[in-house]
Amino acid sequence: MTSPSMQTASSPRRPPPSLPRPNEACWCGSGDKYKRCHKEADYLFLRDEQKRLEATKIRPGVISPRRPVPPEIQRPEYAESGEANRGSGRLIRTSEEIVRMRRAGKAAAQVLRTVGEAIKPGITTDALDALAHETTIKLGGYPSPLNYGKTEDRPPFPKSICTSVNEIICHGIPDSRALQSGDIVNVDVTVFLDGVHGDTNATFLVGEVDEESQRLVRVTRECMLKGIEAVKAGRPISDIGRAIEQHADAHGYSVVRSYCGHGICEVFHNDLQIPHYFDPKANTRMEVGMTFTVEPMINAGGWQDRLWEDRWTVVTADLKRSAQFEHTILVTESGAEILTQ
């Protein structure tokens, strides 16, 4: 039998999520009371873990002034006021809209590629924003996040892309923080072109990244692909989340519940919601001609999220890492067409 002190000296052992009371039997199966077995070691383990989490926490940096968009670029309805409309409620797109969605999707994919190639230790997320902003405009598009999403309890989004580092789940605001080797960063690009939006994101590794984070990023991409594979006209939307959740579960990860995929076309986020976990209430049937995003956010720890004071940045409650991938898709006769390839 191994004594707890020996065990913790060489390899600290993760305590179970719910701990016994001091006089109850220890969780390790030794038969000893918890207070005389793993209690002390668990306390030290959890304290060290908390310290490590606090030391690696991302903190807000300085946000640069708003980048201008040349007057000849066609703007979405919220570009001046910040307030978006909800759309007509029509979810089936015309063939003419689909042609435009393909163009906007391709442009978004190109911006994402360009930004991805610039990612390296030392570059700030603000510099990535500048590059995305400039590339979007060169392609004739408007960067959809810029001035989007004002409500009673939050200001409009101030930048042209979202950059979400490590424990940031989504909607991170580009700022003066330089990326560090070992970080993972999600870049979320949406382009408004010819009256419609194309929305795509990917998580990138910065320099040398630990194996566990690499696995999180790989499995998250697989989750998105499994979600897209589940797209089939006639089937309920809930099939998508079921496929994603199954794969995340199998790898010991959790699926973010507070943020979903969304219908998209002339409106950035319309009323159609795509949960990435299994939700039996998501019983709307998929139909040929629908366009929506599949964008699972997968957490290394628990699914719970918290909002920063800026009212945009979403982080994991346990400060463990989170990854995400996104495509905009069209429901076709045979499955899904990826519009942001």
Among 97, 126, 295, 318, binds ligand MF3 (CB under 6 A): 295
Distance CA 271, CA 251 (A): 31
Give dist(CA 239, CA 255) in Å, integer.
15
DSSP string, 269-301: S-S-EE-SS--TT--PBP-TTBEEEE--EEESS
Sign of the Cα pseudo-torsion (178, 310, 185, 117, in order): negative
Least separation in angstroms between CB 234 and ligand MF3: 26
Among 142, 148, 192, 325, binds ligand MF3 (CB under 6 A): 148
**One of 167, 175, 188, 318 touching Co ion (CB under 5 A):** 188
DSSP 35: G
Q: Show the binding pattern over residues 274-313: x = contacts Co ion (CB under 5 A), - = does not.
A: -------------------x-x------------------
Q: Which does 198 bind (CB under 5 to 8 A by kind): Co ion, ligand MF3, none?
A: none
Instruction: Note whether 188 binds ligand MF3 by CB under 6 A.
Output: yes
Of the residues 199, 245, 266, 279, which one makes contact with Co ion according to CB under 5 A: 199
157 binds, among ligand MF3, Co ion, none (CB under 5 to 8 A by kind): ligand MF3
What is the x/- site pattern for ligand MF3, positions 194-213, by CB under 6 A?
A: -----x--------------
Beta carbons within 8 Å of 147's beta carbon, 6+ residues apart? 66, 78, 79, 80, 82, 156, 157, 158
Separation CA 58–CA 29 (nearest Å)? 38
By CB under 6 A, name the binding residues for ligand MF3.
145, 148-149, 157, 162, 171, 188, 190, 199, 262, 293, 295, 326
